[in-house]
Amino acid sequence: MFLLSICQWLDSTRLNAAMRMSTWFFPTFDVIHTLGIVLVAGTIMLVDLRLLGLALRSEPVASVVERIVPWTLRGFSLMFVTGALLFSSEAVKLYHSPAFRIKLVLLALAGLNALIFHRTIYRDVANWDQTAAVPIRARLTGLLSLAFWIAIIAAGRAIAYGSGYDLG
Amino acid sequence: MMASFLLPVFEWMESTPVGQAIQHSASLIALLESIHLIGLTLLLGSILMVDLTLLGFGIGRAPASRIASELRGWIAAGLAIMLVSGPLLLTSEATRCYKNPAFWTKMALLAIAVIFHFTVHRKVVSEEPPAPRYGAALTACLSLGLWTSVALAGKAIAILQSS
């Protein structure tokens, strides 16, 4: 209930009223938010596919991660800022949306998956990068990450059916 | 809006059993939209890597030609996913799309982006030795600009459709 009161407070702020009054606010931030997600998921999927041995096989895993992950993080900040603003424009509604809750859980799981990878198996990437096969745990990270991001995109679409403007 | 001989085609699309089935199922539309967006993600992610390589921010010292040939299959896969899910989504609201300027803008941009990708972009990417830096950079910027515009126009379809 603590979270619900925060949502109620967000809905009562002046910023919220301004956002709801504006006709361009929602579409504009929705567009930027979508582009942010496409950037995050599009780049992280390439890393995942590399870990699974399905793309960029001639490039070492370490260089793929080093060069691509900064773009993932850039996309993430875009997605996070716009997402927070979109959320605060209809906080109580989203509090009650199952799709929104699922999306947040999936985002946390995707983050945790990436964090565990970086803190454990990726630490000795130098030892396994030149071998023919990527270790099974790293491949598992790739597979989980792909599944999480596909599900996050689907959950986002599901939210759109209950908020902002009706796409149906 | 467009050559009026196309209107009956759009009306027919919407009247087909497929169009009717999709039109009457919000969850089917959400599913198709998700698939469409995943295809876009795959396509844009892969193209971004090729274009970043052209701009000199590539993976290690790998030449653009190698990155492009390694990602060719995934670019094709992303495009294929979009070209299947897109027309299916269209059948569910064909006549509304017909009247939507964003839809025709997207189709025009898509045609330009696809032609550019398989002609100029492909040629510049595969050049040995690599194309002069400014030429490669210009190609990369055009490619990124075109594909982003296609995505933006796609989002605009939904926004105009609801207003």
For B119, which DSSP code? I
Q: In the prediction, which pLDDT does A147 show?
A: 97
Q: Is residue B5 part of a domain?
A: no
Q: Is residue B78 part of a domain?
A: yes
**pLDDT tens per residue, range B93-140:** 999 999 999 999 999 999 999 999 999 999 999 987 777 888 999 999
Q: In chain B, how many domains are there?
A: 1
Q: Contact A86/B98 with Cβ under 8 angstroms?
A: no
Structure tokens at B94: 């064909």
**pLDDT tens per residue, range B26-58:** 889 989 999 999 999 999 999 999 999 999 888
Chain B residues closer than 8 Å to A43 by CB: 45, 48-49
Which percentage of chain A shows pLDDT scores above 90? 68
CA distance to B7, B45, B156, per residue, from B3 (Å): 8, 35, 21
| A129: pLDDT strictly greater than 60 | yes
Q: Is residue B136 part of a domain?
A: yes
Q: Which domain holds residue B131?
A: 13-162
User: For chain B, which residues lie within 8 Å of any Cβ of chain A, measuring from their own Cβ?
Assistant: 26, 29-31, 33-34, 37-38, 40-46, 48-49, 52, 57-60, 62, 66-67, 70-71, 73-74, 148, 151-152, 155, 158-159, 161-163
Q: Is residue B8 part of a domain?
A: no
**pLDDT tens per residue, range A36-50:** 999 999 999 999 999
| A162: pLDDT strictly greater than 60 | no
For residue B129, whether the previous peptide bond is cis, meaning omega lies within 30 degrees of 0, is yes
Q: Is residue B59 part of a domain?
A: yes
Rg of chain B in Å (alpha carbons)? 18
Structure tokens at B163: 């207003």
Q: In the prediction, which pLDDT does B119 show?
A: 96
Rounded Cα–Cα distance for residues A96 and A100 (Å): 8
Structure tokens at B100: 């939507």
This complex has an ipTM of 0.89
Q: Is residue B128 part of a domain?
A: yes
Domains of chain A: which residue ranges?
Answer: 2-160
Provide the b/e sequence for B1-11 (b: ≥16 CB within 10 Å).
Answer: eeeeeeeeebe
For A124, which DSSP code? G
Whether A56 and B71 lie within 8 Å, measured CB to CB:
yes
Q: What is the pTM (predicted TM-score) of this model?
A: 0.91
